[in-house]
C-alpha cells in the first residue's frame, strides 16, 4: 500500500465520523426534550401462559422394564397405550428387538439375522 492510499483512507474515515456526529447531535437533542403526557394509564398485568401438562404428550414412548426369573430383561415401549416394540436382553447373549410390522401383524425379530423391514415413522399425528 502506498502512503497516498493510507492518507486517503484516513480522510474518508474522518469524514464519515464527522458526518455521523453532525447528524446524531440533533437526534439526541430532540430525544431529551420529549416529555410523556400526564394522562398515561398503566397497562394491565398479563398472566403468564399456562404450563403444559406433560402427561398428555404422546411423542415420547413410555418404557416399562421387566426382569424375568431367568435373568432376561424385557423393555416394553408403548405409545398411546399400544405396545409397539420390545427390547429383549438375555442374561447371556446379544440383545435383540421385536417390533410390530403394522397394527394387525405379528412381531418381527431384529436380532443377529435381521429380516427385511421397511422403516415407518410417524411424521404427523392428527
The answer to whether 93 and 86 are in contact (CB under 8 A) is no
Q: What is the DSSP string of 49-116?
A: PPPPPGGG--SSPEEEEEE-TTS-EEEEEEETTEEEEEEEE-SSS--EEEEESSSSS-EEEESSSPPP
Does pLDDT of 76 surpass 60? yes
| Top mean-pLDDT range of 3-17, 52-66, 92-106 | 3-17
Q: What is the pLDDT of residues 14-68, one digit of tens each?
A: 888 888 888 887 777 776 666 777 888 888 998 888 876 655 555 678 899 999 9
State the Rg of the chain over Cα: 35
Per-residue pLDDT band for 96 (boundaries 50, 70, 90) equals confident
The answer to whether 74 and 63 are in contact (CB under 8 A) is no
* Closest CA relative to residue 77, chosen from 51, 59, 54: 59
Amino acid at each position: 500500500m502506498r502512503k497516498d492510499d493510507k492518507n486517503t483512507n484516513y480522510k474518508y474515515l474522518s469524514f464519515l465520523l464527522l458526518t455521523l456526529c453532525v447528524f446524531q447531535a440533533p437526534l439526541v437533542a430532540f430525544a431529551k426534550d420529549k416529555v410523556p403526557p400526564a394522562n398515561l394509564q398503566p397497562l394491565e398485568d398479563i398472566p403468564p401462559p399456562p404450563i403444559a401438562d406433560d402427561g398428555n404428550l404422546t411423542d415420547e414412548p413410555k418404557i416399562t422394564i421387566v426382569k424375568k426369573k431367568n435373568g432376561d430383561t424385557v423393555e416394553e415401549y408403548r405409545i398411546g397405550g399400544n405396545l409397539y416394540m420390545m427390547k429383549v436382553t438375555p442374561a447371556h447373549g446379544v440383545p435383540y428387538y421385536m417390533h410390530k410390522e403394522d397394527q394387525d401383524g405379528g412381531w418381527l425379530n431384529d436380532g443377529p439375522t435381521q429380516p427385511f423391514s421397511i422403516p415407518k415413522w410417524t411424521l404427523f399425528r392428527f
